Copies of this chain bind each other. A is one copy, B any other.
Amino acid sequence: MNFSSKLLENAVYEIALLPGIGKRTALRLALHLLKQPNAQVERLASALVSLRNNITYCKKCYNISDTEICDICASFHRDPSVLCVVEDIRDVMAIENTGQYNGLYHVLGGKISPIDGIGPNELHITSLVKRVKEESIKEIIFALSNTIEGDTTNFYIFKQLEGLEITTSTIARGISVGDELEYTDEVTLGRSILHRVPFEVQ
């Protein structure tokens, strides 16, 4: 692209580093910002910088948090005997939004993926095992992605917890609400038959 301004070219270059944003979208965003009040652009910029520089994570569950211990871990209304293991904080938000879970979380920060150079030591697994040993946790729910990496991570953690008196479960896998059987892949469909649940009148 032929930019007539170094400032514009630079801004487009930096915006296009964001995931899912190409040069054209970056240009559109840059030109949009040019038409906004200076104050708005400065608010955006300072929000990004202060997010990056000042963010902290909960010391117990590694969820994002402005305080040392996050609101969920600090709450008296949550059940501290159940721990839900998730990949990242987006999953915490997703589960919180369902309103169906009342226990605590443990955010791994990813899943075991040798191809991306992520081994167990890059994740918060040691601290998870330590929590299970030190806190009065009775049940662990694995809520990782339904992929090979997710399953590997589940299995690795399961092995680490062997010998401890604890119930482990994974979130149910099967056909989603609204799915049609004919478009469902065989593995999912096969599993959903294998793990069928008693019929309930809702």
Which residues on A are within 8 Å of B, measured CB to CB?
A: 1-8, 10-11, 13-15, 17-21, 25, 27-34, 36, 38, 40-55, 58, 63-66, 70-72, 88-90, 92-93, 96-97
Task: Tell me how far the C-beta of A70 lies from the nearest C-beta in chain B, rounded to whole angstroms.
Answer: 5
Point out which of A3, A48, A49, A50 has the most chain B C-beta atoms below 10 A from its C-beta.
A48
Q: Which residues of B contact A28 (CB under 8 A)?
A: 19-20, 90
Whose C-beta in chain B lies nearest to the C-beta of A38?
A: B52
Q: Which residues of B contact A93 (CB under 8 A)?
A: 1-4, 27
Q: Which residues of B contact A89 (CB under 8 A)?
A: 4, 31
Whether B19 pairs with A48 at a CB distance below 8 angstroms is no
Assembly of this chain: how many copies? 2
Whether A51 pairs with B33 at a CB distance below 8 angstroms is yes
Whether B27 pairs with A65 at a CB distance below 8 angstroms is no
Whether A11 pairs with B51 at a CB distance below 8 angstroms is yes
Name the one of B2, B3, B52, B66 contacting A41, with C-beta atoms under 8 angstroms.
B52
The A interface, classified by DSSP as helix, strand, loop or mixed, is helix
Whether B7 pairs with A33 at a CB distance below 8 angstroms is no
Knowing that A7-B51, A15-B47, A34-B52 touch, tell me 11 more A-B residue pairs with CB under 8 angstroms.
A1-B97, A4-B64, A5-B65, A11-B47, A14-B44, A18-B32, A33-B48, A34-B51, A41-B49, A41-B51, A42-B49
Whose C-beta in chain B lies nearest to the C-beta of A97?
A: B2
Q: Which residues of B contact A32 (CB under 8 A)?
A: 18-19
Whether B70 pairs with A52 at a CB distance below 8 angstroms is no
Whether A44 pairs with B34 at a CB distance below 8 angstroms is no
Whose C-beta in chain B lies nearest to the C-beta of A10?
A: B47
Whether B47 pairs with A14 at a CB distance below 8 angstroms is yes
Q: Which residues of B contact A31 (CB under 8 A)?
A: 88-90
18 contacts between A and B (CB under 8 A): A3-B64, A4-B65, A4-B70, A4-B72, A4-B89, A4-B92, A5-B55, A10-B47, A11-B48, A14-B47, A17-B44, A18-B29, A21-B29, A28-B90, A31-B90, A38-B52, A38-B53, A41-B53
